[in-house]
Structure 1
Amino acid sequence: MSITKQYLKSKPECKITFCVPAKDASKVEVAGDFNGWNSAELKKYKNGNFKAQFNLPVDKEYQFKYIVDGEWVNETEADAYQWNDYAASENSVLVV
C-alpha cells in the first residue's frame, strides 16, 4: 500500500493518490473523514493495483481506512494511527 502526496502550487490543496496492491481482491474502497466516511471505490488496474485520487485542503489531518472485499484495513504507510472508540480499532491518519 502507498500514499503519494503532490502539493498544488495554484491553491492550498494536495493531490492524494491512494494505491492498494490487491491482485486477488475484487473490490477496494477508501472511507474517511475527508468523504464523510462514505466509501469511494478505487479503480482496479491490470497490474493488480487499485488507485484513487482526491484533492484535499492542506494543514489538516484526515482519518481513513481501506475496505478490501468488505474487510476494514489500515494503510501500512500512514503518517500515524489514531484510536477510534466507535470501531474499537485504530484508523490510519494522513497528514497534509
Structure 2
Amino acid sequence: MSSYVDWSALGQVVLASVVVGAGLPALFALGLRGVFQAEGRIEGRSTDGETGEALAPPRRVLGTVTAAVCFVIVLAAVVGGIVLIVRS
C-alpha cells in the first residue's frame, strides 16, 4: 500500500493545513486579546476596579506590541497566499 501513498507528501499537507487552518486564526485571536489588553478591556473595565486608577502603561504597551506582531504575521500569511495563487 505504500507504493500508492506518498506518506511524506501527505505529512506535509497535514502539517500545512494544521498550521494555516488552526494557527492563523489562533494568532488573530491572540492579536484581538492584545488590542483589548491595550484598551484595558480584558476584565470589562478600564480601571483596576479597587482604586479607580488606570491600568499601568507597560501593560498597555505589551498589548499593543502583541497585537501588532500577531496582525503583521497574519497579514503576511494572507498576502503570501494571494501572491502564491496569482503566480500560478
TM range (shorter): under 0.3
Please identify which structure carries the higher strand content: 1
The structure with the larger Rg is 2
**TM-score between both structures, scaled by the size of structure 2:** 0.23
The structure showing larger relative contact order (alpha-carbon pairs under 8 Å, at least 6 residues apart) is 2
Please identify which structure carries the higher helix content: 2
**TM-score between both structures, scaled by the size of structure 1:** 0.22
